[in-house]
């Protein structure tokens, strides 16, 4: 069987990691895989697979990378010579290309994996100029509607996301598939405690992009309260993004420079998570963050905001707090880190949830793809 996979990014986010998991699975099953993404995708690992082909696009616009990706990816779609074109894309920024291509090739099939609410992120993101906000949202809303309307199957990452999108748009067919634990993840010894002199410290970790929707300012403010109660605590922030300068000013104002460290982009997320005593996700909104399953994999306790698809994964009230609730976040962290019995209880609850997400995500996506392919 043959497929064209498309992604608008080549970063280290959940979409990119899922995309790589799927490609790994498909090439091992001897699918004919053609991958389109911005230049930088590490395709060397697929050199032994003659049926894998990579078609890079060249970025020429750093502000809106989709602008440079769109025409090049569409051109590539027309140039790829496949009898039956099955296209797999992530979110509408790449999915709209497949939807538009379908208008010219009626036999083409499109599967779109919706793993985030891009429009909601833009509404919350302060870096988008207010003057252009209205126009940007109108354009992207049209692109989202056009993509989902023309998709043969839409794969949502949570029931919450499916409910919200299906109430807005007419969608032919949709399924819910939560992110899962990847048995191929490898934990490497990066010895953060030794590197940053954190012996006997309680390490709270955050992993994700530094942007407003991730709610980091609330975590930092809550950590100020925690640090008074547990002075030997530190907060490690792994990730990069436009909000870093603002967060650094907040940390300086709270006089927490010695207790909060920015580690930058982490290539191997599970190795970082494995070093932490507790992972905290203070997001204002989420679809289904991979960090939860990565924490399950490491047996590292995790608590998160009660928003989006998170309650579907964590389930237990003891593992969640309300978004923006600085006092609530601090109280829960203090409760867990100051009481060994409470820490063991939270860890046990995470282990219960871990068993529910130990299936192979890529296997299930392949079954969906086969169903669409065979129906053509």
Give tens-digit pLDDT for 297-352. Answer: 999 999 999 999 999 999 999 999 999 999 999 999 999 999 999 999 999 999 99
The domains located in the chain, with CATH, are 2-180+359-374 (3.40.50.2000), 192-357 (3.40.50.2000)
Q: What is the per-residue pLDDT across 222-278, written as a single tens digit (0 to 9) for each?
A: 999 999 999 999 999 999 988 999 999 999 999 999 999 999 988 889 999 999 999
Say yes or no to pLDDT of 80 above 70. Answer: yes
Mean pLDDT score, 85-90: 92
pLDDT the model gives residue 120:
72
pLDDT at 47: 86
pLDDT digits (tens, 9 = 90+) for 142-154: 889 999 999 999 9
Q: Is 225 exposed, middle or buried (0-12, 13-18, 19+ CB in 10 A)?
A: middle
Task: Report d(CA 14, CA 253) in Å as an integer.
Answer: 32
Say how many CA atoms lie within 13 Å of 292 toward its Cβ: 32
CB 186 within 8 A of CB 373: no
State pTM to two decimals: 0.90
């Amino acid at each position: 069987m043959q497929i064209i996979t498309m992604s608008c990014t080549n970063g280290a986010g959940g979409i990119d990691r899922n995309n790589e998991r799927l490609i790994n699975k498909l090439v091992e099953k001897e699918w004919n895989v053609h991958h389109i993404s911005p230049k930088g995708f590490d395709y060397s690992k697929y050199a032994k697979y003659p049926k894998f082909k990579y078609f890079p696009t060249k970025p020429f616009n750093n502000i809106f990378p989709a602008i440079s990706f769109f025409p090049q990816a569409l051109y590539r779609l027309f140039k790829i010579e496949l009898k039956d074109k099955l296209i797999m894309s992530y979110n509408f920024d790449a999915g709209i290309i497949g939807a538009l291509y379908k208008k010219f090739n009626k036999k083409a099939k499109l599967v779109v994996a919706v793993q985030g609410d891009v429009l909601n992120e833009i509404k919350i993101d302060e870096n988008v100029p207010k003057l252009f906000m209205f126009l940007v949202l109108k354009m992207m809303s049209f692109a989202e509607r056009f993509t989902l309307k023309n998709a043969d199957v839409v794969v949502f990452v949570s029931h919450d996301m499916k409910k919200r999108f299906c109430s807005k748009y007419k969608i032919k067919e949709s399924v819910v598939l939560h992110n899962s634990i990847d048995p191929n993840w490898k934990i490497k010894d990066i010895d953060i405690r030794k590197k940053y002199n954190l012996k006997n410290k309680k390490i709270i970790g955050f992993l994700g992009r530094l942007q407003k929707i991730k709610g980091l300012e609330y975590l930092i403010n809550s950590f100020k309260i925690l640090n008074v109660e547990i002075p030997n605590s530190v907060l490690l922030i792994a990730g990069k993004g436009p909000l870093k300068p603002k967060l650094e000013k907040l940390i300086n104002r709270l006089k927490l420079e010695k207790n909060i460290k920015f580690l930058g982009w982490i290539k191997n997320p599970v190795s970082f998570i494995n070093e932490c005593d507790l992972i905290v996700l203070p997001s204002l909104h989420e679809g289904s963050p991979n960090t939860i399953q990565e924490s399950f994999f490491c047996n590292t306790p995790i608590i998160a905001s009660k928003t989006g698809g998170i309650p579907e994964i964590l389930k237990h009230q003891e593992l969640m707090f309300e978004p923006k609730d600085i006092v609530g976040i601090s109280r829960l962290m203090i409760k867990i880190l100051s009481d060994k019995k409470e820490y063991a209880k939270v860890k046990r609850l995470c282990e219960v949830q871990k068993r529910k997400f130990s299936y192979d995500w890529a296997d299930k996506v392949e079954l969906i793809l086969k169903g669409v392919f065979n129906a053509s």
